[in-house]
Structure 1
Amino acid sequence: MAQNHYDILELKKDCSTQDIRCAFIKLSKQHHPDTSGSPKTNHFVKINEAYSILSKPDLRREYDVHLRMKAAPVYTPGVGYQVFKDDNIFRPGHGFDRAADRPYYGIKGLKKISNKWIVLACFVFTGLGVGLQVFAIRKSFAFSRETLDRKSLESYKAYQQVRERATSVSKDEQLDRIKQVN
């Protein structure tokens, strides 16, 4: 059975920081390679690691959460509640075979679609969007061009009429008309 840091320091999970310090000092004196005469340093390293985590409140809180999550029962549809004893609390596909006839993400009638089809659909919709945009831009430029050409032709015809009237009358007659208007 794998030991946690509390087991290594021979402590309960609700111990105080002073208890952790006292247990560390006691065990490090017992298992130190220089004093115990044992060439094995593995247990001494585990004691140091446990103390370095449990002595700091933030790290201890994270470690406690990790222990609770590791031992918490997890409900898996089709299997029921299970307790995972390893570090991977969630493993995709573990305990539940997502068969093709089951609903995707719990939405009834929606089956899982292959990523290839999703990518293909994205490219098709993008292509349609770009095509419609290009068509709309070309039509708007063509429409604007036709409108500008028509207005330009109307303006040119009006200019030609004014010019013809101005050249058909002599300068003296034009001056008389101006005097009459003022």
Structure 2
Amino acid sequence: MYFVARQLEYKILNSVIRCYSFARKSHYEILRLRKNCTEKEIKEAFIKMSKEYHPDKNKDAAAQDKFVQIVEAYNVLSKAGSRAKYDSAQNSSDSTYVYRTYNPYNMRRNSNTQYSYQYQTHSQNSQNTSQSNSFYGVKGLKKVPNYVIILLCCSLAMVGCLLQMFVIREMYMIQRRQANEKSKYLAEELEKVRAAAKENANEVQTRLLLEKIVQAANPTVATASLGQALASEKK
């Protein structure tokens, strides 16, 4: 009789466990996702829900169990291979997916420690990604490598040198053009002065010759010489 009662209790317990397994939510339902969701959506849902049910923030025992389910679901769905196997097991009527219905206290404590480390790692990676995307205080502006900054500085310095050389060359050409124009103007003025001096010299020589003739004693010779001088001057 005792063995019959024990066997009956065992069957009832198996039936309860089996019903609980069938009634348990799938990994997609735990993370509140659709079956055709992307990897980015899975990661975002894991981070959001792990913050909500993390044992350090939520001391409820149900929240701890929920956190274990969230991490378990993420470990399966975040990898393409395990996700494909899980989907195949869900879609196949002959296949069954084994759920862990009970975790001893020590195993649950170790699991919480492991999941807490994974949660902190994911949070730290997301923070590092956010900081790298807004490194200069502008959202979406990522950190520029040092060699790119060096190349930009060298390019700006080279462009500055080329502009400076161009400005110096243009100033030199302008000054040279102005000097040539000034030299040409001075040469023209010098030619004018020389021509005027030559004309003045001829007039002075004629005047001196006339004075000598007038001072001569013979009026006839003076008159003839004066007429000849005037004729040559007209020529």
Query: Could you say which structure has the larger radius of gyration?
Result: 2
Q: Between Structure 1 and Structure 2, which shows a larger proportion of helix residues? A: 2
Give TM-score scaled by structure 1 length: 0.38
